[in-house]
Amino acid sequence: MDTSFYPILMFVVLFLGLAWGIHIGFVLAAVPLGFALFLWGTQGMMTYVQGAWGAMNNFALTAIPLFIFMAVLLEKSGIVEDLYLCFYKWSGPLRGGLAVATVVVGAIVGAVSGVVAAGVIGLGLIALPRMEQYKYDRGINMGSVLVAGTLGQLIPPSLVMVIYGAVTNLSVGKMFACGVSSGILLTVIFCTYILIRAWINPALCPALPKDQRASWREKFSALKDVILPALLILSCMGAIFSGAATPTEGAAFGALGAILFAVLTGRFQWKTLQESCFITLKVTSMVAWMIAGASCFGAVFAGIGGNQVVMDFALAMPGGKYGVLALSIAFVFFLGMFLETSALILMAAPIVTPMLVKLGFEPLWWGTIFMVLLQTAYISPPFGMSMFYLKGVTPPDISLEDIFKVTPIWIGLQLIGILLIVFFPQMGLWGSYLFYGTWE
């Protein structure tokens, strides 16, 4: 059999395993194990073991359980509700103001926690009923919750950026900095879309009635709820961007800050701490299995010449290196429709990123595009996780199909963001220049 066929067969078997319902972490480990034994015998196990050991021995991954703990504890401390009520009071008189407040709060929650589930579920429980109450168009209210909640994977601290940096040996700190700039870009795009739609058709997103708007005293009083989250963001991210702490050390500082936030707001309970630790252990274990399995897959895939097969196929496409870039974007976007984002990084990044870097594209620039594509993956049918998070907190009369129907326009807005970063790289990279003095 032609050896170039084996890499393709690996992917076919992988997708068959996923279709059969096997957990992504286990199928990622089982497929390369079978191929290594079949092609190389027991001697090939060294490649398999080295792949897993190399991944799990990466110190940067220590940040994962710390950021998860930070996110879970903050979510249980009611930070989403505090922030939304504050911005709700300020933006209520504006057409589309509640949806804009949802997007802005989603960005802030992302900058505090970095976990998508916390943002989508929290905003779904708090913001969605208020927008329903004031007769907001469901395409606007559900869409704003979806995209606002997913900003947590793009705006640092971000778990997927830690994983991507570990896989590609790219600076996590610089990834975080570009996450700030690209996250702000998407936030502006989403808010602009909402305001334009509300201006064209006021009935879609009506302003609050005058008798239900907050007074100036209430507005300024609500600002106190922003102080602690702002201090947490500035201390955690400031330590990283200033060079005073590595991303892993910054994660530890953020975890301590989450405990202090719960104590200072009077919401700290030992039961909450225990539940947060248990959830952290559960999620971290799942991520660790996927990282180990994907590293084994990548090691065996490279060992049988898979990277070269992909490179040869890509270079045969029309359009030169820009054709390869377009194909890579389409490939990641397609995988995002079916795979969980951590698994997507672990499968696609080791294959696509070295190829694009070899063709002369800037690694940080491509990494930023990759992260925005992951943002799109969260709301892409049929398996975008944010849609399932939202369905879990919506009224019974809203079906999963109804949520699917609102996503195309928001996916389109995110693709506009990707195109802006492709053609105007500074729009995605200015964070790196601001915090590190370099565009790369």
Whether 389 maps to a domain, the answer reads yes
* Cβ burial 305-338 (10 Å sphere, 16+ → b, else e): ebbebbbeebeeeeeebeebbebbbebbbebbeb
In which element (H, E) is residue 428 found? helix 426-436
Instruction: Give the residue numbers spanning the domain of 342.
Output: 58-268+305-436
User: Is residue 25 one of the residues assigned to a domain?
Assistant: no
What pLDDT was estimated at residue 388? 79
Measured distance CA(228)–CA(266) in Å, rounded: 13
Whether residue 5 lies inside any domain: the answer is no
Cα separation, 433 vs 440, in Å, equals 8
**Within a domain: 51:** no
CA distances from 150 to 37, 137, 186 (A): 40, 20, 11
> How many CB atoms neighbour CB 202 within 10 A?
12
Which two structure tokens, joined as six digits, stand for 392? 């879990």
The two tokens of residue 137 are 């168009």
> How many domains is the chain built from?
1
CA 355 to chain centre: 23
Tens of pLDDT along the chain (440 residues) come to 455 677 778 878 877 887 787 777 778 778 888 888 887 777 767 766 776 676 667 676 777 788 778 777 777 777 777 777 777 788 777 888 888 888 888 888 777 766 677 678 777 877 888 888 888 888 888 899 889 888 878 888 777 888 888 888 888 888 888 988 999 999 999 999 999 998 998 888 887 787 777 777 878 887 787 777 777 777 777 777 777 777 777 778 778 888 887 888 777 788 888 888 888 888 777 777 777 777 777 777 777 777 777 777 777 777 778 888 988 898 888 888 877 777 788 778 888 888 898 888 999 999 999 999 988 888 888 777 788 778 877 777 788 788 888 889 999 999 999 999 999 999 989 888 887 777 67
Radius of gyration of the chain (CA): 22
Determine the pLDDT at residue 55.
65
Question: Please, which residues have CB within 8 angstroms of residue 12's CB and are 6 or more apart in sequence?
Answer: none
d(CA 183, CA 231): 19
9-35: b or e for each residue (b if 16 or more CB lie within 10 Å)?
ebeebbeebbeeeeebbebbbbbbbeb
| Amino acid present at 59 | F
Residue 352 falls within a domain, yes or no? yes
- For residue 331, being part of any structural domain is answered with yes
Q: Examine residue 289 and state whether it is found in any structural domain, yes or no.
A: no
pLDDT digits (tens, 9 = 90+) for 35-58: 888 877 777 677 667 766 766 676
Q: Please state, in angstroms and rounded to a whole number, the distance separating the CA atoms of residues 165 and 175.
A: 8
pLDDT at 4: 66
The answer to whether position 411 is within a domain reads: yes
Residue ranges of alpha helices (H) inside 318-384 are: 320-336, 341-358, 363-377
